[in-house]
Amino acid sequence: MDFISGEIIGIDKPLGWTSFDAVKRVRGAIQRRLHLKKFKVGHAGTLDPLATGVLIICTGRATRRIDTLQGGDKEYIATIRFGATTPSYDLETQIDREFPWEHITEDDVVRVLPQFTGKIMQVPPVFSAVKVDGKRAYNLARKGKEVELKAKPLEIKEMELLECNLPEIKVRIVCSKGTYIRALARDLGEALGSGAHLTALRRTRIGNITVESCCSIDEALEKINTSPLTFPEDYRLPEAN
């Protein structure tokens, strides 16, 4: 592996890990393998701790491709529960309100999905990394401060109902960069005269990198530790201490 010229590693991020957790483990393994105190590693497209699936990690000079990689279409499998909301629109926070959901039918769900397909405007969650006056919205929200975010344009290219076991549904979504699936759950609940929140999320694709082509974090670390190393012609490997 040529970590200096740059490797692009597809990780199937486990539940509970932040994207930074995965980057930190990969960076640490590479630094130990190359006997370096510092090394550039980044990821293309953040995944929330409660989400799993495709996380693209770039090393060395391949970090220059992060903007291009994270700009690709993303595919998700989302599990959404009607009848209750949470401040974060997922299970990171506790239920704050309950709503009737018994009036919702599968036909109703099928009917409203097209309303969210195409180019739409979406208000991001207050528990998000969007910056407000230079500060992350989630930091302000966790301190109990009122946060007002503006709607942003995005594109939902496909929405397919995979399962309907009300009050819970499972939906496949193909969308553009910047889409918050948690906010989509919120909006679906409102459209159906109820409340809703995300209970599970799995990213199955970014661009042409699918979850089937990804490896686990342990498999990635094993490759880093055991694969033969190659280097650019202008690079000199530091001596081990």
Catalytic positions are: 48
Q: Quick one: tokens of 138?
A: 């989630």
In one-letter notation, the amino acid at residue 151 is A
Sequence-ordered list of residues with C-beta below 8 angstroms from that of 34, at least 6 positions apart, any chain: 3, 229, 237, 238
Which residue's structure tokens are 């089937």?
212
ω before 167 within 30° of 0 (cis)? yes
- Give the number of other CB atoms < 10 A from CB of residue 156: 21
Which candidate, 203, 215, 205, places its Cα nearest to that of 12? 215
Helix H or strand E encompassing 168: strand 168-175
